Amino acid sequence: KYDYPPLVCNVSWLGLLSVLITILLVASSAPLTVANLFYNNLIIDNFTYFCQIFLLISTASTIVMCLGYFKEESLNAFESIVLILLSTRSMLFMISAYDLIAMYLAIELQSLCFYVIAASKRDSEFSTEAGLKYFILGAFSSGILLFGCSMIYGFTGVTNFEELAKIFTGYEITLFGAQSSGIFMGILFIAVGFLFKITAVPFHMWAPDVYEGSPTLVTAFFSIAPKISILANMVRVFIYSFYDPTWQQLFFFCSIASMILGALAAMAQNKVKRLLAYSSIGHVGYLFIGFSCGTIEGIQSLLIGVFIHVLMTINVFAIVLASRQNRFKYIADLGALAKTNPILAITLSITMFSYAGIPPLAGFCSKFYLFFAALGCGAYLLALIGVVTSVISCFYYIRFVKIMYFDTPKKWILYKP
């Protein structure tokens, strides 16, 4: 007679309503000029405006998935909705952050919410393990990030991005000299902290276990929202404040490593969420092509790539959450999906083709802009490795289509019509 649990359903609707109202408020206050708030700790400009709008739309999509998820899973965890909203608020601050202290506080607030959400399924050992792993490794990366911020402040005396940009204009960062080496190590520690948060190789080790152990809805949120906020903040830090060819080389090697490991490791996966975790790592490598270029075209292709990646991820997890009986855990559970639910099979097939970068779908446009930016800045090796790994990734993406249309499942699963 009543929805289970009623409090979760009501909180989900209230959360969705609050996000929609926030979208309207942000959309109605488009900045005409650059505005600095709270003693230059926050900034509002067109870049911030578009990133915040897209982040809020992604959060609204996640909450829409919540409406049926908690009922089917019989989870009385309304706190998850509150924590999702709180983490979204922190990510909005992160996108607007214009100071190292404000940036760190926003990242920490987001991380604290994520630690709890990852372990929200309290009766599951896998969820508890995922939350514990995320907490331990996340706390370690936060310490590295804070240490880097403190070193920058210690050697420069400022934390504001605008003042740091003025200091680093024409300043050559080398390992020679006490001040130069200290600044170099500070920026390196900040970069390591960011690379961990965004699951880039070699700081990706936590992602597959956390993605698999967390509730499916939480995995979807982890795959969607942080990509927007962290990449937007990295653009502000490494392109605007600390721009230097040294960091282009760092992102160059991280991009290559992420693309190769993401493509090869995903081939051996039989579970849906672990495969999506390695796929996400590979897509981070593609997005870092834009960072490696450091040009206007590179940043534009980066933003286009992250937006398209988020849209594809929302679609995949919406399909995963649309199925019954604990949703398919293994890829083999998708057998004969085309017979039981042809609409779901067609939608998932189109999404997988888009992930693989097959024209004329959105995933192809994303990779085309990124590879074009790489060729424009002379990074031919990046473009070559990107094309090769894209071809390799077609194997496990098209395997979804093969299983749905040509395989017979060991156990038939009912799906919503």
The verdict on residue 216 lying in a domain is no
pLDDT digit string (tens) for 370-402? 999 999 888 899 999 999 999 999 988 888 888
Percent of the chain with pLDDT over 90: 25
Q: Residue 178 pLDDT > 50, yes or no?
A: no
Alpha-carbon gap, residue 382 to 379, rounded angstroms? 6
- Backbone φ and ψ for 97, nearest 5 degrees, come out as -60, 135
DSSP E strand stretches across 28-170: 35-37, 42-44
Omega cis (within 30) before 417: no
Please give the full DSSP string across 255-282, using - where no structure is assigned: HHHHHHHHHHHHHT--BHHHHHHHHHHH
Q: Which residues contact 71 (CB under 8 A, 6 or more apart)?
A: 3, 4, 5, 8, 9
Give residue 177's pLDDT band: very low, low, confident or very high (50, 70, 90). Answer: very low
Residue 305 lies in a domain: yes
For residue range 80-118, list pLDDT tens digits in order. Answer: 888 999 999 999 999 999 999 999 999 999 999 988 888
399-412 pLDDT, tens digit per residue, is 888 888 887 765 55
**Is residue 207 assigned to a domain?**
no
For range 185-191, the mean pLDDT: 90
Q: Tell me if 289 is assigned to some domain.
A: yes
Share of the chain above pLDDT 70, in %: 91
With contact defined as beta carbons under 8 Å apart, do 156 and 229 qualify? no
Asked if 94 and 233 touch (Cβ cutoff 8 Å), the reply is: yes
**What is the model's pTM?**
0.88
| Number of domains the chain is built from | 1
Is cis: bond before 342, omega within 30 of 0?
A: no
Please check whether residue 224 lies inside any domain of the structure: no
d(CA 50, CA 385): 31
Specify the pLDDT at position 286: 92
CA–CA distance, 386 with 265 (Å, rounded to integer): 16
> Average pLDDT, stretch 242-249?
79
- State residue 147's pLDDT score: 93
Q: Is 70 exceeded by the pLDDT of residue 265? A: yes
Residue 326: its pLDDT value, please?
44
pLDDT higher than threshold 60 for residue 60: yes
Predicted local distance difference test score (pLDDT) of residue 298: 87
The predicted pLDDT at position 55 comes to 92
The answer as to whether 376 is a domain residue is yes
Of 105, 107, 374, residue with least CA distance to 234: 107
| Both structure tokens of 333 | 């559970």
Indicate the pLDDT class of residue 170, thresholds 50, 70 and 90: low
CB 344 within 8 A of CB 399: no
pLDDT at position 417 is 46
- What domain range is 341 assigned to? 262-417
Report how far residue 218's alpha carbon sits from residue 62's, in angstroms, rounded to the nearest whole number: 9
Residue 202 lies in a domain: no
pLDDT at 133 (0 to 100): 86
Domain for residue 283, yes or no? yes
- C-alpha angle 139-140-141 in degrees, rounded to nearest 5: 90
Per-residue pLDDT, averaged over 187-208, amounts to 89
Q: Please, what's the largest Cα pairwise distance for the chain? A: 73
